[in-house]
Structure 1
């Protein structure tokens, strides 16, 4: 099983694909689209859940999403039809880091997708290219809550602590206008959902390679979470505006 398929199954019950509950998502979107008639772009949209929720809540909003997974985009199209918002959603099968849009956007979203750009600074650089004057960026990425083990750094990457993360963001010319640090409940709920959804999918399948690989992936992820990074890794979501220009 390839990584994209495993991720798609694991996020089936947590479609925002980040450690955020429904209230946190709603508040972040409220700060991201203060008027309700904005044009929104999601770079690395996956199944499009951020856009689908925004479109459902704001009937004058228009949205576009970019992702490399054709299967995830097909899921997004089907969900948009089901929720009655397909007429205001455009989806692009492309590399989010290289995507070139013909117009600018009032809100650019990239939550939990910084790995596709090579980290948070290049994610913000990509968002800046698509941002209309006065627009906002909604971004979410990890940070170290406590000094991590070498194993955790090797597994997840070389994040900074929260204060340093924000200092780097502001030094890059951004001003936070809203933020949310995921709670322990949100972080644990996300991990239980990830591992549980994948394990349940596997247990509902007959014996075979897919079943074995999915169970092994769920078990490995659970062990890494509990043994390696549960006590050191956090997640911050920010709504940003350009400080000048």
Structure 2
């Protein structure tokens, strides 16, 4: 069908991540470590924008991105080719559970810890950290992007979030950091997405479809699309300022 809603064309990163923070992350992960990473593993990579930028900054490195969304992987391959990175970036459609793709010098897992565990939230975080320790080299780094509660959500806020949302779905930041230490890491750097980053992400997540809907109010897909957009916006308004995302640069403790 022609004139179907576009998909995520306004998003550079599939997370609340600004250009400034992305640049700082790339610099930290390629320039301030004892050795420049030569192998990179991106768990739940999506279109792998951050890994591609790291590959550009680390010309000796190769990377593997893992995801189960074929559309995102196609976009990743196209982006890699457009930047001349197709020989150094591989993207595979497979589960990350018990992955044999490591160990790598740098492991990225941004908003994708659930891909490493079959446990229910928030217990999946503990299992994911154990897997990340297994998948990273002893002198490597892990970049973990993980959700946390900035404050305890109220019952009203929870009722407007995702289906069956519960206060136990996430840890607070202090508990999350304690879990990284218990899993065999030291947190080299702790930072959290700002409200501006969240608003840019959530707006860009829906912006192109909102414009499409305004221009095609009588399209056969309009009603379904309108319901989806309105539902997501209501969820966002419920977790806005409550749900945070931590970007943790983790150093594995020598075994």
Q: TM-score, normalised by structure 1?
A: 0.87
Choose from 208, 217, 236 the match for 2:246: 236
For these two proteins, the number of residue pairs brought into alignment is 237
Could you list the per-position Cα deviations for residues 47-89 of structure 1 after superposition, in whole angstroms to 9, with x for gaps in the alignment?
Answer: 1212111122222221110111122111111111111111111
Once residues 252 and 49 of structure 2 are traced to their aligned partners in structure 1, the CA distance between those partners, rounded to angstroms, is 26
Cα distance change of structure 1 residues 38 and 168 upon mapping to structure 2, 3 Å threshold: same
Q: Cα gap change, 1:85/1:205 in structure 2, threshold over 3 Å: closer, same or farther?
A: farther
SS in 2 for 1:218: helix
Give CA-to-partner distance per residue, 1:17-58, whole Å, 9 cap, x none.
111101111222322233444210001111121211112222
| Alpha-carbon separation, structure 2, partners of 1:133 and 1:242 | 6
* 1:60-79 matched pairs, under 5 angstroms: 60-79=60-79
More off after superposition, 145-154 vs 177-186: 145-154
Q: How far apart, in 2, do the equivalents of 1:208 and 1:171 lie?
A: 53
| Alignment-derived partner of residue 87 in structure 2 | 87
- Alignment TM-score, normalising by the size of structure 2: 0.84
Q: Structure 1 232/91 Cα, relative in aligned 2: closer, same or farther at 3 Å? A: same
Q: Which of 127, 133, 142 is matched with 2:138 structurally?
A: 133
Structure 1 residues 224 and 48, CA gap change in structure 2 (3 angstroms): same
Q: Residue 109 in 1 paired to residue 104 in 2?
A: no
Checking the alignment, whether the CA contact within 8 Å between 1:62 and 1:89 is kept in structure 2 is yes
Moved more, 178-187 or 24-33: 24-33
Shift of 1:209: 4.2
The residue that corresponds to 2:125 in the other structure is 120
Larger radius of gyration: 2
Inter-CA distance 75–138: structure 2 relative to 1 (3 Å threshold): same
- Give unpaired runs (5+ residues) of structure 1: 1-5
Q: Distance in 1 between matches of 2:132 and 2:220?
A: 40
After superposition, give the CA deviation of every residue in 1:84-110 in whole Å (9 maximum; x if it has no partner): 111111111101224322x52100101
Could you say if the C-alpha distance between residues 201 and 129 of structure 1 is closer, same or farther in structure 2, counting changes exceeding 3 Å?
A: farther
- The structure that is helix-richer by fraction is 1
Looking at structure 2, the residues matched to 210 and 88 of structure 1 have their Cα atoms a distance apart, in angstroms, of: 39
Shift of 1:211: 3.3
Instruction: Tell me, yes or no, if the aligned pair for 1:196 and 1:218 is still in contact at 8 Å.
Output: no
Q: Which 5+ residue runs of structure 2 have no aligned equivalent?
A: none
**SS of equivalent residue, structure 2 residue 60:** coil
Q: Distance in 1 between matches of 2:28 and 2:249?
A: 7
> What's the counterpart of residue 152 of structure 1?
158
